[in-house]
Amino acid sequence: MVAGHSIYTSSDCGKIEKEDSWYLESYQKNPGQAATFVKHIEEGIEIVDRDEDALLLFSGGETRKDAGPRSEAQSYWAVADYKGWFGKEESVKWRALTEEHARDSFENLLFSVCRFRELTGTYPQNITVVSYDFKEDRFANLHRSAIRFPESRFFYAGTPATSNAKEAALKGEELVRMQFSRDPYGCRGSLYHKKLKRDPFHRSIPYPNGCPEIESLFRYCGPTPYPGALPWP
């Protein structure tokens, strides 16, 4: 799963590494920022190319009103297609799909697990997440633990943020980790309200349709890990 971070807004795919071609929040407006998105896309393609049984999911919803009703996931898929799947089109394109409703990093993971079940009829044996290196603890520990996915079958591929944004990114990440440590499912307080703001077009989220075995996990809201049965050992 490649976690989306922005929406591509340019009509010219030849400008994919230009910051003004993406809808960026103020904290994202750094030289080289767009290239980090492209690197995530390339990394996801490379990983899937090495595993013929893998499925590639670009995850991220229509999170920015000013960007219009375009999803992060579709943006990443379109960029991958423009880049010719970095030379891996024959191997990867037919296995690359989208999850277009996630509004935060926890939903990137949970919704992608449900989308995988929706697409394949089963749940993933292994999960690899592609995002920034400084988010590894959030995904590999907090989010993975929240869905109780086995640590031995969870992998993380992190790439660096732009050098001039690293210090601010680390400070921001520390705050978000603290929030998720107190509210692992992002269902209360500031994390919940942030999700509401990232749904400007009021999309109806289809999940847990397509993954009925984890419906209770979707409904759960608590400070401790979900205690019910799950379809992965």
Handedness of CA 231, 144, 5, 193 (dihedral sign): positive
Residue 123: exposed, middle, or buried by beta-carbon count in 10 A (0-12, 13-18, 19+)?
Answer: middle
Q: What is the pTM of this model?
A: 0.95
- Per-residue pLDDT band for 13 (boundaries 50, 70, 90) equals low
| Superfamily the domain 2-219 falls into | HUPs (3.40.50.620)
E strand or H helix that includes residue 156: strand 154-159
pLDDT digits (tens, 9 = 90+) for 216-229: 999 999 999 999 99
210: nearest Cα among 122, 120, 124, 118: 118
pLDDT digits (tens, 9 = 90+) for 182-197: 999 999 999 999 999 9
User: Tell me, what's the pLDDT at 190?
Assistant: 96
Q: How far apart are the first and last CA of the chain?
A: 20
User: Tell me, what's the pLDDT at 90?
Assistant: 97
Please state, rounded to an integer, the average pLDDT across all residues of the chain.
95
- Per-residue pLDDT band for 165 (boundaries 50, 70, 90) equals confident
- Per-residue pLDDT band for 177 (boundaries 50, 70, 90) equals very high
CA distance 106 to 230: 17
Provide the residue ranges of all domains of the chain, joining segments of one domain with +.
Answer: 2-219
Contact by Cβ (8 Å): 44, 127: no
Helix extents (H) in 61-219: 72-82, 89-92, 105-120, 136-137, 144-147, 166-182, 189-197, 215-219
pLDDT digits (tens, 9 = 90+) for 22-72: 999 888 888 899 999 999 999 999 999 999 999 999 999 999 999 999 999
